[in-house]
């Protein structure tokens, strides 16, 4: 038997907001992502010249040399608006929580060989400082970028990086039973160890980069594109090869996050590079510049982390990055 529920059927006057209809070219019902994103940022008729800039508006396309006819085209393939993003992350943090308590309950870190433990403290845990810089860099893109499509994704990325810095901090705390000694050692390495100094210098340089799109290329495409494979693939493999699964478990959030991050970053690069020859050339120049510098500063770190496997791992990371940028159409 069929049950009919009586309901009112009222024809709507319109199916979505005008700014969304202009963007998609029709008045069809739009996704939550598009309604939350398209056209939300003010664009014209600003009242006051910012006291913090002599020649820029509060929202200004000229904050980068990249030119887009419509900045909203830099859509996020994950379709993250706040709700979709935070619900996804809340599930992932649930999984991460289970992993952390699994490692803790079984005292898995006490069986860690001393040399591996030292390596994690000196070469992996200092990355929390780099993630903090990545947080500031993405916050910068979110503050001075143009169009909600990219600025909201940068804002979420910034919070993701803070979360990752905090997960790494937790690993550091677990390594010494919450005394904070491992974090002190690791921070001292970041601050003074010769292998870290070129990277710290590069990180401080990035924090003074003014063009937000260049910063996007430097941080999210190149630095992440080389560092994440090196640590969460090569170094991670090395730890599991010695029979230790704790590191892999405690960094699962980061590995999963990175796969998703790559989708967003590649899509932005692809659309921006396809917009014009000059964008493509500019992105290519930045790519070249930052890849050269970052590869150089990664050498001593790869050496410390991976020893004999350093060069192979770096080559593999470079190959991954090249494959991605080729696929994104960067010349």
Evaluate whether 199 touches 301 at the Cβ level (below 8 Å).
Answer: yes
Could you tell me which stretch among 41-49, 231-239, 295-303, 313-321 binds another protein (CB under 8 A)? 41-49
Q: Which two tokens stand for residue 198?
A: 């070129």
Nearer to another protein, 97 or 315 (CB): 97
State the nearest-atom distance from the C-beta of 270 to another protein, in Å. Answer: 25
Per-residue interface string for the shown chain with another protein, residues 1-40, x marking contact by CB under 8 A: -----xxxxxxxxxxxxxx------------x--xx--xx
Report helix, strand or coil for 30.
Answer: coil
> What separation in angstroms does the CA of 82 have from each of 11, 88, 156, 165?
30, 10, 8, 21
Evaluate whether 16 touches 28 at the Cβ level (below 8 Å).
Answer: yes
User: How far is it, in rounded angstroms, from Cα 329 to Cα 331?
Assistant: 6
Q: Please tell me the count of residues contacting another protein according to CB under 8 A.
A: 89
Report helix, strand or coil for 71.
Answer: helix
55 binds another protein (CB under 8 A): no
State the nearest-atom distance from the C-beta of 320 to another protein, in Å. Answer: 27
> What separation in angstroms does the CA of 297 have from each of 177, 223, 258?
32, 10, 21
State the nearest-atom distance from the C-beta of 129 to another protein, in Å. Answer: 6
48 binds another protein (CB under 8 A): yes
Q: Which of residues 212-231 bind another protein (CB under 8 A)?
A: none
236 sits in which H/E element: helix 236-241
Nearer to another protein, 3 or 48 (CB): 48
Could you tell me which stretch among 115-123, 196-204, 255-263, 320-328 binds another protein (CB under 8 A)? 196-204
Which one, of 149, 278, 277, lies nearest residue 216 by Cα?
Answer: 149
Instruction: Quote the distance between the C-alpha of residue 45 and its chain's center.
Output: 33
User: How far is it, in rounded angstroms, from Cα 2 to Cα 282?
Assistant: 63
State the nearest-atom distance from the C-beta of 124 to another protein, in Å. Answer: 15
Nearer to another protein, 57 or 276 (CB): 57
Q: Which of residues 119-158 bind another protein (CB under 8 A)?
A: 128-129, 131-132, 135-136, 139-140, 142-144, 148, 151-152, 155-156, 158
Nearer to another protein, 2 or 241 (CB): 2
Radius of gyration of the chain (CA): 22
Among 60, 104, 181, 211, binds another protein (CB under 8 A): 181
172 binds another protein (CB under 8 A): yes
Count CA within 13 A, CB hemisphere, residue 320: 20
User: How far is it, in rounded angstroms, from Cα 309 to Cα 144?
Assistant: 40
176 binds another protein (CB under 8 A): yes
Per-residue interface string for the shown chain with another protein, residues 77-116, x marking contact by CB under 8 A: ----xxx--xx-xxxxxx-xx-------------------
User: How far is it, in rounded angstroms, from Cα 184 to Cα 82?
Assistant: 35
Q: Which two tokens stand for residue 92?
A: 């992932």
Could you tell me which stretch among 174-182, 240-248, 291-299, 302-310 binds another protein (CB under 8 A)? 174-182
State the nearest-atom distance from the C-beta of 318 to another protein, in Å. Answer: 25
Which one, of 26, 60, 54, lies nearest residue 41 by Cα?
Answer: 60
Report helix, strand or coil for 123.
Answer: helix
Nearer to another protein, 6 or 241 (CB): 6
Among 26, 101, 166, 240, binds another protein (CB under 8 A): 166
Q: Which of residues 230-269 bind another protein (CB under 8 A)?
A: none
């Amino acid at each position: 038997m069929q049950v009919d529920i009586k309901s009112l059927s009222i024809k709507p006057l319109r199916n979505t907001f005008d700014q969304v209809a202009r963007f998609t070219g029709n008045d069809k019902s739009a996704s939550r992502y598009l309604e939350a994103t398209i056209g939300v940022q003010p664009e014209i008729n600003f009242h006051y010249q910012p006291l913090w800039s002599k020649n820029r508006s509060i929202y200004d396309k000229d904050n980068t040399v990249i030119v887009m006819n419509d900045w909203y085209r830099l859509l996020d393939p994950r379709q993250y608006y706040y709700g979709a993003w935070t619900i996804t992350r809340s599930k992932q943090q649930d999984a991460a929580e289970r992993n952390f308590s699994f490692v803790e309950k079984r005292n898995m870190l006490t069986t860690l060989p001393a040399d591996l433990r030292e390596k994690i403290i000196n070469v992996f845990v200092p990355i929390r400082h780099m993630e903090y810089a990545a947080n500031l860099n993405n916050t910068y893109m979110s503050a001075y970028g143009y169009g909600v499509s990219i600025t909201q994704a940068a804002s979420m990325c910034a919070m993701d990086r803070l979360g990752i810095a905090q997960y790494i901090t937790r690993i550091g705390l677990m390594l010494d039973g919450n005394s904070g000694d491992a974090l002190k050692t690791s921070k001292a390495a970041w601050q003074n160890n010769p292998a870290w100094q070129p990277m710290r210098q590069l990180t401080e340089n990035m924090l003074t980069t003014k063009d937000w799109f260049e910063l996007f290329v430097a941080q999210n495409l190149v630095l992440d594109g080389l560092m994440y494979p090196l640590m969460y693939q090569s170094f991670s493999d090395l730890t599991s090869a010695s029979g230790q699964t704790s590191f892999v478990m405690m960094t699962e959030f980061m590995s999963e996050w990175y796969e998703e991050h790559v989708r967003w970053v590649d899509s932005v690069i692809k659309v921006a590079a396809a917009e014009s020859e000059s964008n493509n050339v500019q992105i290519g120049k930045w790519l070249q510049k930052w890849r050269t510098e970052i590869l150089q500063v990664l050498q001593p770190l790869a050496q410390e982390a991976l020893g004999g496997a350093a060069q192979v791992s770096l080559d593999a990371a470079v190959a991954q990055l090249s494959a991605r940028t080729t696929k994104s159409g960067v010349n």
